[in-house]
Amino acid sequence: MFKIVAGLGENTNIKEAALAIKDFEVELVNCDDALIKAINNPNVDGVIRGSLSASNLIKSLKKANPNRPINRGTYIHSDDYDFLILPVGIDEGQSISDKRILIKQAFEFILKLGKIPKIAILSSGRCNDYNRNPNVDLSLKESEDLEKIINEDLSSDVKFNEIDYTVKNYYILIEQAINDKNNIIIAPDGIIGNYIFRILVLLCKWPSYGAVTLGIDEIYIDTSRNQSKEGYIRSLNLAYNLAKMKKNRKL
């Protein structure tokens, strides 16, 4: 039977979510050290943050994997499709180099789910907004450079030659990127990505599966401490489904 470990903090919705699960075992722990141990435990199939603060967990993961870039992408469910928004860590996606790695990780995650990657790149303004604000100019230029670089990266990788992926710069038009059903949406930086997550999920109540941790083999989903019971159930089920896919790939 699959085993998922989740953090139990002040928000007891995670406890109610765990009790609602019937298809796999959910173990609740009450400190981030226990979550870290669970991630490194081969007998644990997946870990979710639950309602713990877990402020040191991502730092610990990065420290334990100094040569492996670790990022997070919030996996959101809209009316009729799912998509990743990233970066969402305020210290992630700070350069084009960072975003190249992040996009590759997101690309591979979407492929694992059996979906065709559709990548939307965002910036801080429209394409005709040059010379209005120097910071916006930098963001526009970076988004245009990133679109070109990602297309070059993917087209030169023989693994992806048969995949009908798309890469498009939507500039500031996030609404169009979502309406066009892109499943990878790249924010200008982690701060803006974090705002997008909070507005869509915490304010507008779009269903979220939590923030998937990319760059590690282990399954860790970073959930909000303010999530609903239904939100935690989605995260637990995602961890379970990812664990099943991981096991099947090894068979």
Q: Angle 187-149-219 (CA atoms, 0-180°, nearest 5)?
A: 55
Q: In what order do the strands lie in the sheet with 82-86?
A: 25-29, 3-7, 46-48, 220-222, 208-214, 71-77, 82-86, 184-186, 118-122, 166-171
With cut-offs at 50, 70 and 90, classify the pLDDT of residue 66: confident
Alpha carbons 91 and 122: distance in angstroms, whole number: 17
Instruction: Give dist(CA 189, CA 86) in Å, integer.
Output: 8
Residue 37 has phi, psi (to 5 degrees) of: -60, -40
At residue 251, the pLDDT reads 57
- Mean pLDDT of the chain, nearest integer: 91
Write out pLDDT tens, residues 88-105.
988 889 999 999 999 999
213 or 53, which is more confident: 213
The reported pLDDT for the residue numbered 16 is 96
Name the band, by pLDDT with cuts 50, 70 and 90, for residue 232. very high
Place of tokens 């639950």: 50
Predicted local confidence at residue 53, as pLDDT: 80
Please give the C-alpha separations between residue 121 and each of 49, 90, 126, 250, in angstroms, as whole numbers.
28, 18, 12, 33
Quote the pLDDT of residue 242.
94
Q: Pull the structure tokens for residue 210.
A: 């939590």
Model confidence pLDDT, tens digit, residues 115-165? 999 999 999 999 999 999 999 999 999 999 999 999 999 988 888 878 999
Percent of the chain residues past pLDDT 70, beyond the cut:
98
pLDDT tens digits along 4-45: 999 998 899 999 999 999 999 999 999 888 998 999 999 999
- Please compute Rg for the chain using Cα positions: 18
Identify whether the C-beta of residue 32 lies closer than 8 Å to the C-beta of residue 52.
Answer: yes
Determine the pLDDT at residue 60.
82
pTM score, two decimals?
A: 0.89
Closest CA to 236 of 198, 202, 210, 205: 210
- The per-residue pLDDT for 139 is 95
Q: Could you give the percent of the chain with pLDDT greater than 90?
A: 69
